Chains A and B, each alone.
Chain A
Amino acid sequence: MIEVLKPGLLTTVQDAGRPGHRASGMPVAGAADRQALRAANLLAGNEPGAAALELTLLGGTFLFDEEGIAALAGANMAATLDGAPVSTGVPFRVAAGATLVLQGAARGMRAYLAVRGGIAVPPLLGSRSTYLRACFGGFEGRALRAGDRLPVGGAAGAPRTFTPAECALPPLPYPGDAVTLRVILGPQDDRVDPEGMETLLATRWNVTPQNDRMGYRLDGPPVRLRGGADIVTDAVVPGAVQVAGDGKPMVLLVDCQTTGGYVKPFTVIGPDLRRMAQARAGDAVRFKPCTQDEATAALAEERRWPST
């Protein structure tokens, strides 16, 4: 068991997500930074998609009942184990009764804490992910609170032991940096006039505080649309960029609804969505068009990581 002493700002159980039920209105959810989840799991000796804790901006304090192996990946929250620093991206042994303290992240938004065996909450519809809006999955369908006790699974069959060097992720941007997100045009790029598309692609968009696991509202000059922002509601995926009536883009994230009624000029490619999920208010993003071939190659490359 892991006991939550301080829950942090927003800590949820997440795994690789819950695909397969979008036609029933069930979002995919899962780790917002899927590659950091994989890194934390592989370092801890788990399957890459095992359930772990997703910590947001400010970590929390966790007491381990039993000894085990744990690992952190994603945003660095200056963790200490019984007072001794532990590094992000390096697995560490936890003694029974040890306390792990995570502080605020100096950069980045989300950290992942994996423990060998995974967080053993009961799976629902094939996943242990928390979908907050419907109070579904994860630990009692909600963010963790002080006093919660999380079950840890038996030692999981890791493919093999991965080294920190193999699982190293690109460094996260410093606060205020602009990250580039590659996008594929469509489905409603024809609803943005050329000037509007120029605005979308040339602007350094500011990340606003209106961001959560459902999506990130961005701020900048209004984007000119053809015929308003409303469309006949259709299906949306995480990564879709919506432009609402105020002309400001919103990048949908893993908890987004399955359908939406706003113009979507383009979609952030899957491998780049983690860069959005690691951005915070005050950071900035730029959109850069890419081809289907480039996106497919990026996805194949992401899957080959870390090379086995």
Chain B
Amino acid sequence: MRILTQGEGGLVVELGEGIDPAVNARVHLLSRAIASRLAGEVEELVPSYRSLLVLHDPVRVPRERLVEEVLAIAREVEATVAPPPRRVVQIPTRYGGIHGPDLADVARLTGLSEEEVVRRHAAPVYQVLFLGFTPGFPYLGGLDPTLATPRLDTPRTRLPAGSVAIGGAQTGIYPVESPGGWRIVGRTALRLFDPHRENPFLLAPGDGLRFVPVEELEVEG
């Protein structure tokens, strides 16, 4: 574990090397612990694969003091086995057809049938490692390695919101219409980001997530 600096108001607590679900689970544990125990001293907490950015106001909270407090909590968390996700969000997904135009390519590239690709994609409980790229975009851990598929040579300029896609060894869901180079295997009608909802973000870092195959795409509203 080490503490790095990002600007006058940022501490980066690195809890491990590489992309490891167990390390990431401790990042979320650390985030929750700091949020509850140092609520008055930190302004924002931003988790990523293996580290937590702790933002604070250096004029109000001296950095040396915060480093000591954060280190103490991080040492406790390091010795802990993180519990499983507190909730698992179900993502009803229409695979293939017009909603998953690249499912056939993914089947061809992996040497599996389309049905088997869907079965393996919908089998695991994924971990929302963190959100980034665009508001509400989940970086998911847990894709079956046999489903890893190279990205498109030429990214699409417009992917519809709710596109469920595979890119390299990762899978994700596009919250808003955006460009993208991942292969689209399906689509969900759930809105991962809706600015007019009381909680605009469907997912939170540390959530579990499962894709549930459905026959019909039920569009909200």
Contacts and interface: CB of A to CB of B under 8 A. Distances in A.
Interface of A: 19-27, 124-125, 131, 133-137, 184-188, 232-237, 239-240, 257-259, 264, 267-270, 292, 295-296, 299-300, 303
B131 A25 contact: yes
Given A25-B135, A125-B195, A134-B134, A267 B48 contact: no
B44 A186 contact: no
B46 A22 contact: yes
Q: Is the interface of B mostly helix, strand, loop or mixed?
A: loop
Nearest to A300: B59
Interface stretch (B8-16, B95-103, B147-155, B183-191): B8-16
Contacts of B130: 23, 259
**Mostly helix, strand, loop or mixed at chain A's interface?**
mixed
Given A23-B44, A235-B47, A264-B6, 13 more contacts: A21-B135, A25-B132, A25-B135, A26-B135, A124-B195, A131-B135, A186-B5, A237-B10, A258-B132, A259-B130, A292-B5, A295-B7, A295-B8
A239 B12 CA distance: 15
Contacts of A24: 131, 135-136, 200-201, 204
B134 A25 contact: yes
A223 to B, nearest CB: 18
Interface stretch (B49-57, B68-76, B112-120): B49-57
Interface residues on B, range: 35 or more
Interface in B36-52: 43-52
A136 to B, nearest CB: 6
B1 interface: no
B159 to A, nearest CB: 14
Contact of B50 (A184, A232, A267): A232
B200 A125 contact: yes
